[in-house]
Amino acid sequence: MDFKCAVIKGDGIGPDIVDQAIKLLDIVGEKYGHSFSYEEVLAGGVAIDATGHPLPQETIDVCKKSDAVILGAVGGPQWDHLPGNLRPEVALLGLRSALGLYANLRPAVMYKELQAACPIKDEIIGQGLDIMVVRELTGGIYFGERGQGTGENGAYSYDTMMYSEKEVERIARNAFDIAMKRGKKLTSVDKANVLENSRLWRKVVLEVAKDYPEVELNHLYVDNAAMQLVINPKQFDTIVTGNMFGDILSDEASMITGSIGMLPSASLGEGKIGMYEPIHGSAPDIAGQDKANPIATVLSMAMMLRYSFDLEEEAKAIEKAVENVLAAGYRTGDIMSPGGKLVGTKEMGRLLCEQI
């Protein structure tokens, strides 16, 4: 089969990690009889430098015509002085909106070989961790009405959190479908004791739950959910929540696993097209130094094969390659521990390809 991928390497370590992921994809293609073609486009800081805007229309057009989008990372201190509408991160919101990517899947998996890096006690974390956070991605406070003004108390600003029934229903169904394929347990996170918006969220989730009688549903307020992730993370299987709450909780869940450099993500919409990226940032301090960990990007490619291309065997082959390399003791600097074998970005990429 032939698949067309738009590639946005982005800023900082983006090119370093994406290059290794593409090498591995090509190896997978050779082994399983697939062909992956790539068209590189600009977004983020490099797009600002080249075109004056973080998300050129050409990038949107190419992404829309592709089967999937591979994204490295965007941002860096050299663009921090720009106004909000011209910051590199605007590219992410623009791509999600343009491609209709309303569901962000962030698996937080702790590999047994990296358990020592977990900041939580062994008696709490047990034998491992496997949580899927399903975050609504194109609504809520990040996309609501916003503004600034001046009143009797001086300057003021506001951001509006708003969700419609349709927006909540579609992300809820997505989460219930995922929960059905996992542990059949779903936690919906809101702030229904305070926010009117969250009361609608909970009402719609409860309605959708009637169509999934096999799934055990429970509700947590976001502050309690943040606490529970630390004191008893093993209670969670699948979590569904809104945009801002999901942004915060998914990062918390990722750090419980021990390294943000290990975790992938997928952003999905109604069709098969998706955007696949590591959840970590651009780490400009180590860009181009052969120090970045490419595993999160590589695992994002496994998600791409699974969710956009329906290639489950190939996805599992990538995940198994990661397990084997970690079991053999190889580590990049961010996950290094006593007794490990320190390798750089390129060598880690080569080892993963070798396992395929």
Q: Which amino acid is at 241?
A: T
Q: If 0-12 CB within 10 Å is exposed, 13-18 middle and 19+ buried, where does residue 94 land?
A: middle
Q: Which long-range contacts (CB under 8 A, 24 or more apart) does 333-340 make?
A: 333/291, 333/293, 334/259, 334/261, 334/293, 335/114, 335/117, 335/258, 335/259, 335/261, 335/262, 335/293, 337/114, 337/116, 337/117
Those residues with Cβ within 8 angstroms of residue 26's Cβ, 6 or more apart along the chain or in another chain: 36
Map tokens 């880690």 to a residue. Answer: 348
* Interatomic CA distance for residues 68 and 64, integer angstroms: 9
Q: Give dist(CA 217, CA 167) in Å, integer.
A: 19
33, two tokens: 């009889």
The β-bridge partners of 28 are none
Candidates 111, 191, 237, 307; catalytic one: 191
Instruction: Single out the catalytic residue among 9, 11, 102, 142.
Output: 142
Whether 318 contacts 356, CB under 8 Å: yes
Helices (H), the chain: 14-32, 45-51, 57-64, 90-99, 122-125, 165-181, 196-209, 222-231, 243-256, 295-307, 312-327, 345-355
> Given 19, 26, 130, 251, which residue is catalytic?
251
Whether 185 is catalytic is: no
Terminal C-alpha separation, the chain: 18
The answer to whether 191 is a known catalytic residue is yes
β-pairing, 330-331 with 341-342?
parallel
Task: Look up 26 and say whether it is catalytic.
Answer: no
**Residue from 190, 247, 330, 334 carrying the catalytic annotation:** 247
**3-class SS of residue 148:** strand
* Alpha-carbon distances of 231 from 120, 227, 265, 280, 345, rounded to whole Å: 8, 6, 24, 24, 34
Rounded CA gap, 259 and 331, in Å?
12
Distance of alpha carbon 138 from its chain centroid, rounded?
Answer: 14
- 142 given a catalytic annotation: yes
Could you say which of 177, 211, 223, 310 is catalytic? 223
What's the gap between Cα 42 and its chain centre? 20
Catalytic residue flag (residue 237): no
Q: Which residues are catalytic?
A: 142, 191, 223, 247, 251
